[in-house]
Amino acid sequence: AGPLTQRTVLDALEERYRSRGKRRVTAVHRLDRETSGVMMFACSAAAAGKIMDEWQEMVNERRYRCVCLRSPGARDLEDEGTIDLPIAYNKHDVGFVPTGKDVDSIKVSERAVTRYRVVERGAECDLVECDLETGRKNQIRVNMAHIGHPVAGDPVYGPAKAGPIKVGSAEAGPAPIDRLALHARALAFIHPFTGEEM
């Protein structure tokens, strides 16, 4: 592989298990390429099938942290709250919350529920923890942008502002964010075979 080839975590795991003569690896909980954090992989077809079939029942928690900007005119986030809005996707697979006349013309929209809590407030942005009740594509990014608090560094749902965004406290000094400031912090689930909480 050349220097421009982008390897995925799945590529690395498959290579590792293949070199040990082991089984096939399947991604059962993925993240967008720009999002960092916890992912889940299954090391057998049986495990992958069971996890995918029982995902809603076995997963107890999906927690993310993100840095959210404040759009001009947006009200400050409450200390905690719930965003319960449908998400639809356009022909380019970009999510949005249908409003006004869109509601009648949208054939398919799915309920999307994000619970959030402000962890720390800053001058221009907030550190926010989000728990997903549903798991729609780009759910946090769509929900937070819709209420006027897009995730910093978001090239799709964020502000059309050039250059990296500076965040940080006066003591630490500002640090640039030049990537999507979204991190999958925790994934809690019941093991599909042992019943153990993980």
**Catalytic residue positions?**
32
- Strand-pair category, 80-89 with 95-96: antiparallel
Terminal C-alpha separation, the chain: 35
* Cross-strand partners of 125: 69
Q: Please, is 173 exposed, middle or buried when counting C-beta atoms within 10 Å of its C-beta (0-12, 13-18, 19+)?
A: exposed
What is the C-alpha separation between 11 and 14, in angstroms, rounded?
5
What is the C-alpha separation between 67 and 182, in angstroms, rounded?
7
Q: 116: closest CA among 92, 140, 80?
A: 80
